[in-house]
Structure 1
Amino acid sequence: MTAQPAGDVNSSPGRRRTARPRWAVAAPPLPTERHAKRHKSLGRALLNVLLGLVAVVWLLPTLGLFVSSLRTAEANAESGWWSSLLSPKGLNFDNYAAVLGDGGIVHAFWNSVLIAVPTTVLVVILASLAGYAFAWLEFPGRDGIFLAVVAMLVVPVQIGLLPVAKLFGAVGLFGTLPGVVLFHVAYGLPFAVFLLRNYFAGVPREMLEAARIDGGSEWIIFSRLILPVAGPAIASLAIFQFLWVWNDMLVALIFADSGSQPLTVALQSQMRQFGSNIDVLAPGAFLSLVVPLVVFFGFQRYFVSGVMAGSVK
């Protein structure tokens, strides 16, 4: 009996298996694959450069406003703000100390907070309840009422200024903070209801039916199931609504008096003497800009996830 060689234990007569040498390496990628990877890397680098340039263009006015707020009125009148980047010795925070010491500007800042925050909270609460009702509750005329709400999106805000002003004057709300808040709530609800209704309608029906089988009421389903799932959409709506109201000047200019005017109106009243009081306008405008910037950069990830989800579902 002849013994098989040590390297051919698993081989059979007539069948030979050749083992791959241990020193063999993978074949190099084809030239087309190398070119594709190179073009992909080059395209990604060009995209990053383009996005960087767009970011610089967007942030350049903010940088100019901040540098101008640190300069004296004489320096701003003599040269542009970019000259201080070469010699920043004259930059200081004296203008901010003067603005924060001005009781009128500080009062207007808190008026902006008292207008923007309650408006955002009311719009989010009312739109969430209405969006759930339009999406999952059956009641007579539901589709017609929803179409009427959506149709209000095309109504310009300028059309309602005069009639609402007369109405607020009759009921004693004209020239008050509640009047400004109610106007913003009324014109913010159509878009908010449209956005949240579309998002709520995308929630799987099986989740709601399972909750109802387990004995959950509509309020429990709404508060414990829908609201946690719709967190990105609600957050994005709150951010948008806050930014719109904070930056508004037209509505506040008409409906707010001297004691309830927000920061935008207070700064607009200073524009008549822009050449002589830029040391007040620049730091005041930057303080007004800081709040939207903090809100945007702090919650920007909710913009895409919430709005895109609500628009396609």
Structure 2
Amino acid sequence: MNNIAGNKPALVWATHISVAFLVLLWLLPTLGLFVSSFRTADQIASSGWWRALFATEQTLTLRTAAPETQALEGDLYVIEGNIFADTGEEAPTELTAWGTSSRDVSAYEPGETAELRDGERLTIEADGSYRVESPVEMEGSRGQRVFITGLVPPRLTFENYQRVLFSGSTTDGMQKAFFNTLTVTIPATVIPILVAAFAAYALAWMDFKGRALLIAMIVALLVVPLQLALIPLLKLHLNIGIGKGYMGVWLAHTGFGLPMAVYLLRNYIAGLPRDIIENARVDGATEFQIFTRIILPLSFPALASFAIFQFLWTWNDLLVAKVFLIDASGQTTVMTAQIVELMGTRGGDWEILATAAFVSIAVPLFVFFFMQKYLVRGLLAGSVK
């Protein structure tokens, strides 16, 4: 009985484990990006996203009070205070080490005293309180620079999303690029589906000369590298005046997506029951009526499947947008290009990059989970009795 199809426990367990591993492998980076989008730059630089809910050890650069606050105590000039007083919300809860040189930021333990210039002495306690002593009057406009290593409590913030989505800045903001991406993606998904559906029906169920040759040409176009067609297509678009706007990028995505769309939809439509098509023709239905009332409803799962892949490919595209959306002012910049700009101008602001990246993948995730049921639905359920 163990050899009966579908009754192989070892194979079933291996399949389940493999699927679970692949899901986990895909989910962990997404979860890490999501958590990092709520963290500050210091937290991202000091610890991994899995430490977001725990206190982390960070090194901060702080200063003591300015010399103008010194007071004379006996023969010594003294400055006292708390090094964490002006650090804001992310002040360490406990000091673990400190130093006065960037070469050794952990030179001293809490409570130890450092010898500074001109006989000055600095002591810092674990709670951040410090005391600077000097036999002569201290001069200068700023206090002593100190490197503090301490435990910083966890903090999650929405400031990154406010900065990215609502700042209105062309350097940080993503709202303009978000709508630009929608403007590119929606037509670039709908147009090839409409054209491919008509073409697929004609190639599958209409007899005409050259049909086999057209199918062979479509299959041949599947292997044409996208990069090979970019320059000739751009020159053509520039010659006819559509090389610097949305129309050019819509037609480019349509051209690059049509071969795969026609090939997949033609194979699916050709597999529909012949009896349905022939009965409709006997009843007097025109080809257009057959296509709109029979083929399209039965082909909806296939259309939805291609729409998912076309939408994801177009949304995440950078190369085609860079080539066909030529705009020095940034008015038509898409999200992928905006993230590249952020990496160039905000390369150290990892919290902004993480937030912008998650905003970019949020829409594809929503589209996939919303339409994934069509990928597994019964394709012809109820169409034939």
TM-score, normalisation: structure 1: 0.81
Q: Which runs of 5+ in 1 are unaligned?
A: 1-31, 308-313
Distance 1:286-1:91 versus aligned 2 partners, 3 A rule: same
Query: Which letter does structure 1 place at the counterpart of 2:368?
Result: F
Distance 1:169-1:66 versus aligned 2 partners, 3 A rule: same
Quote the offset at 1:230 in angstroms.
1.0
Q: How does 1:279-290 map to 2 (within 5 A)?
A: 279-290=351-362
Q: Which runs of 5+ in 2 are unaligned?
A: 56-152, 380-385
- 1:54 aligned residue (10, 22, 45): 22
- 1:191 aligned residue (260, 263, 271): 260
Secondary structure of the residue aligned to 1:135 is helix
Count of matched residue positions in the alignment of Structure 1 and Structure 2:
273
Identity %: 46
Secondary structure of the residue aligned to 1:232 is helix
Quote the offset at 1:45 in angstroms.
4.7
Q: How does 1:216-235 map to 2 (within 5 A)?
A: 216-235=285-304
Query: Which letter does structure 2 place at the counterpart of 1:218?
Result: E
Rounded to whole Å, the distance in 1 between the matches of 2:230 and 2:340 is 19
Quote the offset at 1:78 in angstroms.
2.2
Quote the offset at 1:304 in angstroms.
5.3
Higher strand residue share: 2
Is 2:185 the partner of 1:116? yes
Is 2:216 the partner of 1:147? yes
Rounded to whole Å, the distance in 2 between the matches of 1:42 and 1:129 is 46
Secondary structure of the residue aligned to 1:268 is helix
- Name which of structure 1's ranges 71-80 and 150-159 shifts more when overlaid on structure 2: 71-80
Rounded to whole Å, the distance in 2 between the matches of 1:235 and 1:75 is 41
Q: Per-residue CA shift, 1:110-142, capped at 9, x if unaligned?
A: 111111111111111100000001011122211
**Contact conserved, 1:66 with 1:282, CA < 8 A, in 2?**
yes
Query: Which letter does structure 2 place at the counterpart of 1:120?
Result: T
Rounded to whole Å, the distance in 1 between the matches of 2:375 and 2:53 is 34
**Contact conserved, 2:54 with 2:154, CA < 8 A, in 1?**
no
**Contact conserved, 2:244 with 2:324, CA < 8 A, in 1?**
yes
Distance 1:49-1:152 versus aligned 2 partners, 3 A rule: closer
Match of 1:10 in 2: none
TM-score, normalisation: structure 2: 0.66
Query: Which letter does structure 2 place at the counterpart of 1:175?
Result: K
Match of 2:71 in 1: none
- Name which of structure 1's ranges 65-74 and 182-191 shifts more when overlaid on structure 2: 65-74
Match of 1:206 in 2: 275
Match of 1:244 in 2: 313
Match of 1:96 in 2: 161
Match of 2:54 in 1: 86
**Contact conserved, 2:53 with 2:154, CA < 8 A, in 1?**
no
Secondary structure of the residue aligned to 1:173 is coil
Distance 1:40-1:154 versus aligned 2 partners, 3 A rule: closer
**Contact conserved, 1:124 with 1:238, CA < 8 A, in 2?**
yes
Match of 1:63 in 2: 31
Rounded to whole Å, the distance in 1 between the matches of 2:299 and 2:213 is 24
RMSD: 2.3
